[in-house]
């Protein structure tokens, strides 16, 4: 009986054992589809009208370095602006010269009025103001060492009514300018090149200090005349930067007052970049700058 009881108890215990549940199989993983590639369009400042203003463009490109903004020079002048259809974020930076008319554009625009052209007040702009250039150039000529007052000068002017000549006349009255010769383009019977050749031949080294030119074109003519005569005892000071005079500075054509194109490019980039970021650009005025000849190292 005891044996039967033990056997029965063992059987009962065996029936009470609970089997461990089988582990469930993890569901197969579903691969996430790769996103559709989206074209990565760069942020662009498109420059119009600057094909003949390399110093301006250089200033823009220097300022844009490491900014993440791509600078694109668009050929075709301002007419290309009307048809420009960029992909992605873009702003137009316009170099306005001469009497060109601004076309309508489909993108925000910042304009550099290189000749002080009047523009709509609500258009973001940098405008060159040449009003103080004649005075600054004359001051440079008077203060350039070793010039001593009264400074012996030859003056080259468009007319006796020009602002540059009015300043010159005041300086004569004040005793700071000793006017040796004066040229007026509107009344001269000979071209400035012939006039300079005739006049300069009458002055030997030590008799003159410098030449003051109202325009870059007059300054270049004077520098060429002096170089042709082998004269390096005189300097030429220009009250304008036309005729590419900034690229023709030399030990003779020592200084020109006018647009600092590289500085204009830098300032225009700063404001155009604000438009590219959705901010408001600040309009302003660019005053004349004195550009001096510097010997290459």
* 3-class DSSP string for 270-297: HHHHHHHCCCCCCCEEECCEEEECCCCC
The DSSP H or E segment spanning 4 is: helix 2-16
For the segment 227-273, what is each residue's pLDDT rounded down to a tens digit?
999 999 999 999 999 999 999 999 999 999 999 999 999 999 999 99
Give the separation between CA 243 and CA 222, rounded to whole angstroms.
Answer: 13
What is the percent of the chain with per-residue pLDDT over 70, rounded to a whole number?
86
Tell me, what's the pLDDT at 9? Answer: 45
In a domain, 31, yes or no: no
Which CATH number is 165's domain given? 3.40.50.2300
Residue 178's beta-bridge partner residues?
152
Residues 141 and 162 in one domain: yes
Mean pLDDT calculated for residue range 287-296: 94
In a domain, 115, yes or no: yes
Residues 56 and 122 in one domain: yes
User: How sure is the predictor about 6, in pLDDT bands with cuts at 50, 70 and 90?
Assistant: very low
Close Cβ partners of 267 (under 8 Å, ≥ 6 residues apart): 126, 284, 286
Residues 188 and 268 in one domain: no
pLDDT at 20 over 60: no
pLDDT at 1 over 50: no
Give the separation between CA 106 and CA 124, rounded to whole angstroms.
Answer: 15
> Which H, E and C letters describe 49-92, residue by residue?
CCCCCHHHHHHHHHHHCCCCEEEEEECCCCHHHHCCCCCCCEEE
Give the separation between CA 200 and CA 208, rounded to whole angstroms.
Answer: 9
In a domain, 176, yes or no: yes
Report the half-sphere exposure of 134 (CA within 13 A, side-chain side). Answer: 18
Total number of domains constituting the chain: 2
Mean pLDDT of the chain, nearest integer: 89
Residues 244 and 206 in one domain: yes
Residues 177 and 267 in one domain: no
User: In degrees rounded to 5, what are phi and psi of residue 155?
Assistant: -110, 135
Q: Nearest 5 degrees, angle CA 97-CA 103-CA 106?
A: 125
Residues 172 and 268 in one domain: no
Residues 229 and 167 in one domain: yes
Strands of 125-128's sheet, edge to edge?
69-74, 43-48, 90-96, 109-113, 125-128, 284-286
Residues 182 and 229 in one domain: yes
In a domain, 292, yes or no: no
Residues 167 and 246 in one domain: yes
In the chain, DSSP finds a helix count (H) and a strand count (E) of 8, 12
Q: Which domain covers residue 151, as residue numbers?
A: 133-258
In a domain, 291, yes or no: no
Residue 35 DSSP class? P
In a domain, 296, yes or no: no
Residues 71 and 163 in one domain: no
Residue entry with tokens 């150039």: 137
List the one residue out of 129, 127, 42 whose CA is nearest residue 90: 42
Residues 266 and 123 in one domain: yes
Give the separation between CA 126 and CA 287, rounded to whole angstroms.
Answer: 10
Which class for 251: exposed (0-12), middle (13-18), buried (19 or more C-beta within 10 A)? exposed
Are 241 and 218 within 8 A, CB to CB?
no
Mean pLDDT calculated for residue range 58-83: 95
């Amino acid at each position: 009986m005891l044996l039967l009881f033990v056997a029965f108890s063992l059987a009962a215990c065996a029936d009470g054992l609970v089997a461990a549940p089988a582990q469930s199989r993890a569901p197969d993983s579903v691969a996430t589809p790769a996103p559709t590639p989206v074209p990565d369009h760069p942020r662009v400042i498109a420059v119009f009208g600057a094909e003949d203003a390399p110093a301006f463009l250089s200033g823009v490109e220097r300022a844009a370095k490491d900014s993440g903004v791509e600078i694109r020079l668009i050929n075709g002048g301002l007419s290309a602006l009307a048809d420009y259809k960029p992909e992605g974020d873009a702003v137009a930076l316009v170099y306005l010269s001469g009497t060109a008319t601004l076309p309508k554009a489909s993108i925000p625009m910042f304009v550099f009025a290189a000749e002080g052209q009047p523009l709509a007040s609500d258009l973001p702009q940098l405008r060159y103001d040449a009003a103080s250039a004649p005075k600054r150039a004359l001051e440079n000529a008077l203060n350039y060492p070793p010039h001593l007052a009264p400074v012996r000068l030859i003056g080259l002017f468009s007319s006796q009514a020009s602002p540059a000549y009015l300043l010159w006349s005041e300086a004569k009255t004040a005793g700071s300018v000793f006017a040796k010769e004066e040229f007026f383009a509107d009344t001269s019977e000979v071209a400035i090149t012939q006039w300079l050749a005739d006049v300069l031949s009458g002055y030997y080294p030590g008799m003159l200090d410098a030449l003051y030119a109202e325009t870059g074109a007059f300054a270049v003519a004077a520098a060429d005349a002096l170089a042709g005569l082998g004269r390096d005892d005189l300097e030429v000071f220009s009250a304008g930067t036309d005729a590419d005079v900034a690229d023709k500075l030399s030990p003779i054509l020592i200084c020109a007052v006018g647009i600092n194109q590289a500085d204009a490019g830098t300032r225009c980039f700063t404001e155009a970049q604000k438009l590219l970021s959705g901010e408001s650009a600040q309009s302003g005025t660019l005053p004349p700058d004195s550009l001096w000849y510097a010997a290459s190292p």
